[in-house]
Amino acid sequence: GEYEFTIRDYWGNGLCCESGEGHYNVTSSNGALIAEGGEFRTSETTPFSIPFALAPSMSPSSPPTTTPSSSSSPSMSPSPSMSPSSSFSPTETCYWIEIAVVYDDFPYETSWELQRVVDDIGGGNELVKESLQGSSGETSHVESICLQEGEYEFTIRDYWGNGLCCESGEGHYNVTSSNGALIAEGGDFSYSETTTFSIPFAPTPPAV
């Protein structure tokens, strides 16, 4: 499958070198380097596929793979490793939702995560997607995600504890389904706010 590894530093000075010489690395079972670093600001993300394979340019000798990569025709056709990241299995249906966040004056304090509720008794949630913290000067962020049927939790966080509104600006967020139905919205919270919902989403009928 396709994965993203994200490392964060909430002070905004990474692991190196302002407050020491920290670093990180992610390796596969055979020792191949997937990601490494240390000198970043609030976060750094590396996407990769499992099983992990080194890029052709990094391979010591791979004539069969270097030839197709130099041709524009093969690179345009979908490859098996890229297919899962762009669509689900043909036997499964997914439903689009949109997550939109308008930041307050401090976007780097805000992040969100979307989890699938796998076991509602044991709390075994599965991370589907999480955002990076906003960058200084960034005003908004919009992302569309296609979800399989099931139960989900959307959580938005503010690490300063004053939400998106209204102490440091008038930010807000909303989560909507593909037909525009409102799943979640808000802005006036403290450290976090969580909404649980089902896919396919059906709005609660108005009280009679």
**DSSP notation for 108-126:** GGEEEEEEEES-TTTT-EE
The answer to whether 195 and 157 are in contact (CB under 8 A) is: no
Report whether pLDDT(188) > 70. Answer: yes
pLDDT, one tens digit per residue, over 83-122 is 233 344 445 789 999 999 999 999 999 999 999 998 756 6
Tell me: pLDDT of 25 over 90.
Answer: no
Distance, CA of 98 to CA of 27 (rounded, Å): 33
pLDDT of 77 strictly over 60 = no
Residues 56, 62 contacting (CB under 8 angstroms):
yes
Which band of pLDDT confidence, cut at 50, 70 and 90, is reported for residue 76?
very low
Angle at 6 between CA 193 and CA 15, to 5 degrees: 110
Q: Which residues contact 90 (CB under 8 A, 6 or more apart)?
A: none
| pLDDT top residue among 102 and 9 | 102
How close are the terminal C-alpha atoms of the chain, in Å? Answer: 46
User: What is the three-class DSSP state of 54?
Assistant: coil
Q: How far is CA 68 from CA 19, 60, 64, 103, in A?
A: 45, 16, 7, 44
* Whole-angstrom distance, CA of residue 141 vs CA of residue 129: 14
At residue 12 the predicted structure's pLDDT band, cuts being 50, 70 and 90, is low
Distance (Å, whole) CA 139 – CA 142: 11
